[in-house]
Structure 1
Amino acid sequence: MSSTPAPSASPTSSPISTPPPGLGATPTPIQLAQGGVLGIDTVGEGNTATGGQGQTVDGLTCNNLVTPYHVHAHVSLLVDGQRFAVPDVLGFFKPGAEVNGYTANAQCFYFLHTHDADGYIHIEGLAPTAFTLGELFDIWGEPLSSTAVAIFSGQVVAYTATAAQGFNQTTGPFTQYQGDVRALQLVSHEEIVLEIGPVLITPPNLPAVIFYTSK
């Protein structure tokens, strides 16, 4: 995978009220699938040289523990209305072979990681833990702030939605996250949308996602 130059965006950009061409007012939910690639796959590598390379990151170790706590969130990255893929093997050190778009093995894993490039975030631990989006990006080795997401720069707008208890599909309404985006907690069956404009897709034009795991 290769990187592309980051599109610029005005720090004073504001959301548009209508979706870009091709998006309807009630978008079809996105069915996530193991081994999938969701978006333009040019953001870069998941196991970057500046990220987790086996060392402790933000107090999180790389290990092969069997963890009783294992839930999943999803991260969408939209730039000027275009979807870009969150890369695979984020949080892997010396990953094994990829099979059908999915990498199952590595020398060690961080508790936050991806097996494929569809934005499916695996959240593991010895007990339920309040992991954050900032920790995920630090393991990735890419910047995350109010003005940057990975290789892209500009004003960052974040939206979240979660699935109701016992259901796999996120339900509305999406709400705009107003705090420090690095402090945004990763919880089970949560959809996190990170956008950089000036073209922004706003609720109700953001699609729900359907998780393929029960939690």
Structure 2
Amino acid sequence: MRRPAVLLIALLAALVLAGACSSGSKGSSKSESTTSEAPTSSIPPAAQPAQGALPWAAPANPMELAAQASLTPETAESLQFHVHAHLDVFLNGTAQLVPGGIGIDITNPGVHTFGSGDQAQYGGITTPCDKPCISPLHTHGPDGILHTESKTPTPNKLGQFFTEWGVKLDATCVGGYCKPDTSVLIYVNGKKFTGDPTTIELADKTEIAVVIGSLPSSIPSKAPF
């Protein structure tokens, strides 16, 4: 007479256990956190491309490239609309230089140079240049800060900055590093971005990370200012 009761108890216990397992599996399928991400062995290091390899220097024709980016250079900085985004570029886990002088004609006598080499900073235009010498989107120094200094409150886009830099950027490639041969990931404020990276708005205090190849120890989630 006890066997049916024993079987019923065993069946109920099995159902409870199955429910607990099901609940646990649902709880583990959360959206991935990207504010801090350890290197993943499944993402191999990026190989050296035949063209467009890092480092990417500031180009020698900044005013021409600014025009290609649909930006209108000025003879001095205009601060009516003044915001800053921040860009990090990583190659196989190592931070890369975002140079100063992008979007600035550093050969113009009206543009002052502070420091030298990779650490040089450019600007300090106290007297307007004799011709357009600075784009409303530019970098002063090698700190990754993307300055928008404009007469009109028009947000710029990441694609415009890469055009000024002379570096290819689209949904597949950054520079000479292209999917699927190389992992190219974009993060905005610590969250993975899967759309067209050229459309990312350079709003104030936006943190953008371009991650090529294997991952760094962590992904920046906030601009460092």
TM-score above 0.5, yes or no: yes
The answer to which structure has the higher helix fraction is 2
Paired AA for residue 98 in structure 1: T
| Shift in CA distance, 84/55, structure 1 to aligned 2, threshold 3 Å | closer
Paired AA for residue 113 in structure 2: E
CA deviations 1:101-146 (Å, max 9, x no partner) are 3211575111110011111110122232131100111112211123
- Quick check: 1:117 aligned with 2:148? no
Alignment correspondent of 1:23:
none
RMSD of aligned C-alpha atoms? 2.8
Q: Is the contact between residue 157 and residue 194 of structure 1 (CA under 8 Å) also seen in structure 2?
A: yes
Q: How does 1:47-66 map to 2 (within 5 A)?
A: 47-49=59-61, 51-53=62-64, 56-63=67-74, 64-66=76-78
CA deviations 1:142-180 (Å, max 9, x no partner) are 11123332354433211111xxxxxxxxxxxx2111110
In the alignment of these two chains, the number of paired residues is: 161
Shift of 1:183: 0.9
Q: Is the contact between residue 114 and residue 120 of structure 1 (CA under 8 Å) also seen in structure 2?
A: yes
- Quick check: 1:18 aligned with 2:38? yes
TM-score (normalizing by structure 1): 0.64
Unaligned runs of 5+ in 2: 1-33, 41-53
Of 175, 183, 196, 2:191 maps to: 175
- Quick check: 1:158 aligned with 2:173? no
> Counterparts of 1:150 and 1:53 in 2: how far apart (Å)?
19
- Quick check: 1:146 aligned with 2:166? no
> Counterparts of 1:143 and 1:75 in 2: how far apart (Å)?
15
The answer to which structure has the higher strand fraction is 1
Q: Is the contact between residue 159 and residue 193 of structure 1 (CA under 8 Å) also seen in structure 2?
A: yes
Unaligned runs of 5+ in 1: 1-14, 21-41, 162-173
> Counterparts of 1:192 and 1:210 in 2: how far apart (Å)?
8
TM-score (normalizing by structure 2): 0.62
Alignment correspondent of 1:131:
156
Percent identical? 26
Shift of 1:209: 4.9
> Counterparts of 1:207 and 1:54 in 2: how far apart (Å)?
29
- Quick check: 1:103 aligned with 2:119? no
Which of structures 1 and 2 has the bigger CA Rg? Answer: 2
> Counterparts of 2:223 and 2:196 in 1: how far apart (Å)?
26
Alignment correspondent of 1:45:
57
> Counterparts of 1:179 and 1:155 in 2: how far apart (Å)?
15
| Shift in CA distance, 65/104, structure 1 to aligned 2, threshold 3 Å | closer
Alignment correspondent of 1:88:
100
- Quick check: 1:190 aligned with 2:206? yes
> Counterparts of 1:91 and 1:190 in 2: how far apart (Å)?
19
Q: Is the contact between residue 54 and residue 93 of structure 1 (CA under 8 Å) also seen in structure 2?
A: no
Q: Is the contact between residue 102 and residue 138 of structure 2 (CA under 8 Å) also seen in structure 1?
A: yes
CA deviations 1:41-62 (Å, max 9, x no partner) are x62321344x533762232111
Give the 4+ runs in structure 1 shifted more than 4 A. Answer: none
Paired AA for residue 206 in structure 1: I
CA deviations 1:182-208 (Å, max 9, x no partner) are 1111110011000111x1247xx2245
Shift of 1:65: 5.0
Paired AA for residue 67 in structure 2: T
